[in-house]
Amino acid sequence: MTREELLRRRDAVAAAHGPWVGHNIHLGHGVYTIGAHVVGAENTAKHLLQVVGAMAARPLNQIRVLDLGCSEGLYAIEFGLHGAEVLGVEGRPDPLARARFAQETLGLDRVQFVQGDAREATAERYGRFDVILNCGLLYHLNVPDVFQVLENMAAMCDDMAIVETHYALAVTERVEHRGAEYFGISRREHEDAADPATRQKREWASLDNAYSFWLSKPSLVNAIARAGFATVTECLFPAILSFGDRETFIAHKGEARELRSVPLPGIFEDRFLAPDDLRRPLAVWEGQRHVANPDTTPKFFDPTTRDLDILRRRADESEVQIDALDQKVGGVGQRLDALEGRLGAVERRLDEAVPELVRMARETERLAAYAQSLQSSMNDWLNGFWTSLNAATSELGEARAEIQRIRDAQTRPWFMRPKRR
């Protein structure tokens, strides 16, 4: 493949799946996935290569390596270039596509990348490995996943595992797992309202969980040991780009040994180590170039604890409720103002109606007096009328009696009629 063809294909992958953001891989002909300068992850790749090369039970070209949360595949490809058989597991499709492009371009037949959740990586799914890399992954996991991943690693590891991670310098929370207690601090990975598409885009954050749990160094060491590793050592050299709260822990498989020279109980019991000295806190570390990339690093990756976040969220909810109450009070005030306006209008109408009511009352009194006078006159007239009617009725009765008498007289025989004078 010519340089021009290589550049064209690299740019096509970047256009389809986004540009490389952290793993700067040389593809040949002086072409890099990011550019001909050190980005930062190269230091970690060299560090891992030296540690595994010096401490693995077998040569690099004879080991099988698992890279959990491999991102763009730099570490897996580095071990592949040294002849190792490597499986990289990545949960996001875009960095996985970039890793596969680099693997295919370099012709690494013994390197394979698969899409999968590192929290679900088990021996039943992927088999067993001589070396397992857990670099930049553990501090993105929440409880209980942080413990389950370590246990899964121990269950499918035959030789050694490398955990390169941040840990908590300050302890604010206590958790339990399988009857043991651990201490650490919660970190915000995504805001609660972030949708899956937004979380998928943030390649330097957790896959989906809103919080992660950073174990303190003593808790982290005990968690690795209790997961099933015989020894846990801290790598001081070869050195790694450190942020003051991030180091490399090397865990080896092996059998528990019984102390024969001093057969007394209580020796080297599994217990928490002495607390760490406080060093440079996360809030002041500058980090690598990709950390400042707003497209890949969320703004919510900060030293705020879960408890403070909860208090802050409750305060925000209280402010929302107060604002809603203010709005309701404002609405009541507006209604009161409107009611006062209506009452004023009613008072004005009453003021206008009072004179009319007085006039109507006077007119009513006048009409009542007139009606009383009219009723008295009517009563007098009716009394006279009834008197006249009674007199007329009496006269009418007398007239009817006289008429009847005359009729009776006319119907008598002549000899019975009264004599005329």
pLDDT, tens digit, for every residue of 223-265? 999 999 999 999 988 887 666 789 999 999 988 777 788 777 6
Whole-number pLDDT of residue 295: 55
Rounded mean pLDDT, 27-47:
93
Helices 74-81 & 93-105, crossing angle to 10 degrees? Answer: 20
Is there a contact between 70 and 89 (Cβ–Cβ < 8 Å)? yes
Structure tokens at 6: 């290589």
Q: State the residue for tokens 């006249």.
A: 388
Rounded mean pLDDT, 379-396:
87
Rounded mean pLDDT, 35-48:
92
For the ranges 45-54, 162-171, 362-371, which has the lowest average pLDDT? 362-371
Is there a contact between 123 and 129 (Cβ–Cβ < 8 Å)? no
Q: How far apart are CA 419 and CA 10, in angstroms?
A: 166
Please say if the pLDDT value at position 289 is more than 60.
no
Whole-number pLDDT of residue 405: 82
Please say if the pLDDT value at position 9 is more than 60.
yes
Whole-number pLDDT of residue 310: 66
Contacts of 13 (CB under 8 A, 6+ apart): 97, 98, 101
Please say if the pLDDT value at position 305 is more than 60.
no
Q: How far apart are CA 108 and CA 113, in angstroms?
A: 11
More confident of the two residues 308 and 219: 219
For the ranges 187-201, 206-220, 288-302, which has the lowest average pLDDT? 288-302
Exposed/middle/buried for residue 319 (C-beta within 10 Å: 0-12, 13-18, 19+):
exposed
Rounded mean pLDDT, 292-303:
50
Whole-number pLDDT of residue 279: 36
Mean pLDDT estimate for the chain:
86
Q: How far apart are CA 195 and CA 208, in angstroms?
A: 9
Q: How far apart are CA 134 and CA 66, in angstroms?
A: 9
* Terminal alpha carbon distance of the chain: 178
- Angle (nearest 5°) at CA 153 between 41 and 212: 65
Nearest to 93 by CA among 68, 124, 72: 72
Strand pairing report for 129-135 and 64-68: parallel
More confident of the two residues 286 and 136: 136
Nearest to 101 by CA among 46, 155, 163, 28: 28
| pLDDT tens-digit readout, 134-179 | 999 999 999 999 999 999 999 999 999 999 999 998 888 889 999 9
